[in-house]
Amino acid sequence: MNKDQAKGRVEEAKGKVKEVAGKVVGNKELEVKGKIQNSGGKIQSAYGDLKEDLKDAAKGK
């Protein structure tokens, strides 16, 4: 696991917490910020997954 994968998954989790908290409290702004953070985390972890796949392909795995 590389740093992009780890950071991305952490951001996903933090975004999901904000999103749920926003829904529970009724704060639309917090909910939207959580969705954005969650999406950004997914993108970052997907980028990390791609880097890892390319590294493995270069090694012949």
Q: Where are the domains of the chain?
A: 3-59
Res 16: pLDDT: 98
Q: Is the dihedral of CA 39, 24, 22, 26 positive or negative?
A: positive
Res 24: pLDDT: 97
Residue 23 in tokens:
């829904």
End-to-end, the C-alpha distance of the chain in Å comes to 15
Res 50: pLDDT: 97
| Residue 54 binned pLDDT confidence (cut-offs 50, 70, 90) | very high
pLDDT in tens, 1-47: 899 999 999 999 999 999 999 999 999 999 999 999 999 999 999 99
Residue position matching structure tokens 């951001």: 11
Q: Is the pTM of this model over 0.85?
A: yes
